[in-house]
Amino acid sequence: MPWINEGIRAYDEGVASKDDIDTGMELGTNVPMGPLTLADHIGLDVCLHASETLHEELGDRYKPAYLLKRKVEAGDLGKKTGQGFYEYE
């Protein structure tokens, strides 16, 4: 979850585009999908819950990204709703 949360935070702060963050992590760490795509596949609501649990147990370093909270509040939960960081049919 920290990896996903940091990817979301970097995107929210304008460090890079969502595609660049995902591609950079895929190429740089040899994973099959980047953090934003992975979050969409898991479900943003599930990611938020896991991040909130880490935050409660381990402190502020694991605080959920603000953009993650906003997307969940908006009902953009990822692949299961057709909209997350990416759009799905």
Report the C-alpha gap between 27 and 33 in whole angstroms. 9
- Fold for the domain defined by 2-73: N-(1-d-carboxylethyl)-l-norvaline Dehydrogenase; domain 2 (1.10.1040)
Does the pTM surpass 0.75? The reply is yes
Region 38-47 average pLDDT: 98
Q: pLDDT band for position 65 (50/70/90)?
A: very high
pLDDT in the model for residue 73: 98
Q: Rounded to an integer, what is the distance from CA 26 to the centroid of its chain? A: 14
pLDDT tens sequence across 1-31 = 999 999 999 999 999 999 999 999 999 999 9
Q: Where are the domains of the chain?
A: 2-73
User: Are 47 and 68 a contacting pair, CB within 8 Å?
Assistant: yes
Cβ neighbours of 55 (radius 10 Å): 16
User: Residue 84's pLDDT is what?
Assistant: 98
